[in-house]
Amino acid sequence: MNNAREIQDIKGVSTWSAFCATLRRDLVIALKRRNDLLNPIMFFLIVVSLFPLGISPDPVELSRVSAGVVWVSALLASMLSLDNLYRADYEDGSLEQLLLSPQPLYFLVLAKNIAHWLISGLPVVILSPLLAYMLYLPSEAYWTMVLTLLIGTPVLSLFGSIGVALTVGLGSRGLILAVIVLPLATPVLIIGAKAVTDVMVGLPVGSHFALLGAILALALTMAPLASAAALRISVN
């Protein structure tokens, strides 16, 4: 076996297997660190359940703000977990290895973003009907809310990734991450929350979904490229 160790150029692995391996790696890390997995969900639950206490337990008032509350909480929960995306990899040097892979960085970054969404975004989507029920969201708006979150939360992960990639090399980041990411995320928040409130008053919401879909398509194609470029700058 040892003398078969040949030294030659190897056109390595397929991009697809590198993509899958990166996705699996990030999911395994998240599963082994239960805190990372539970933090966004717990945060989402706590923030949403504070609103009835802070505003009023009155069903009419709550149902009016419910869509916005769920959406804002989902946005904040996504932001809370963003730092995990590249921080540990930057500190232990795995990020350098990622950048030195012959595979296109676009797909590796995309794999990491999808992993982040599966860990922090999808649980929020799944949990949202329960919280909507707590906030007296009218039942006809449930599906709209779940669907807007399903389209919107991946966008939050993808755009958030750009902000983290830009700031990962900075020692003290403080609020700078929020300053970068929130402007990118607000269109999604506005359209998502508006779609839910429109459905509550019986307005058509097709255009909202079209816009959200367009933003998701844009984010899927452009955001990983921007993240990749930002990562290269950060490790420089």
Contacting residues toward another protein, per CB under 8 A: 1, 5-13, 17-18, 20-22, 25, 28-29, 32-33, 88-89, 91-94, 96-103, 108, 232, 235-236
| 151 or 226: CB nearest another protein | 226
Shortest CB 225 distance to another protein, Å: 16
Shortest CB 82 distance to another protein, Å: 18
| 3 or 172: CB nearest another protein | 3
CB 152 within 8 A of CB 117: no
Which element (helix H / strand E) includes 207? helix 206-235
76, 171, 158, 72 alpha-carbon torsion, rounded to 10°? 10
Q: Which has the closest alpha carbon to 127: 188, 73, 195?
A: 73
| Cα-Cα-Cα-Cα dihedral sign, residues 108, 15, 26, 69 | positive
Shortest CB 215 distance to another protein, Å: 30
Q: Which has the closest alpha carbon to 196: 106, 109, 123, 132?
A: 132
| 28 or 130: CB nearest another protein | 28
Alpha carbon distance 68, 65 (integer Å): 6
Shortest CB 27 distance to another protein, Å: 11
Shortest CB 152 distance to another protein, Å: 30
Alpha carbon distance 218, 12 (integer Å): 30
| 90 or 159: CB nearest another protein | 90
| 2 or 202: CB nearest another protein | 2
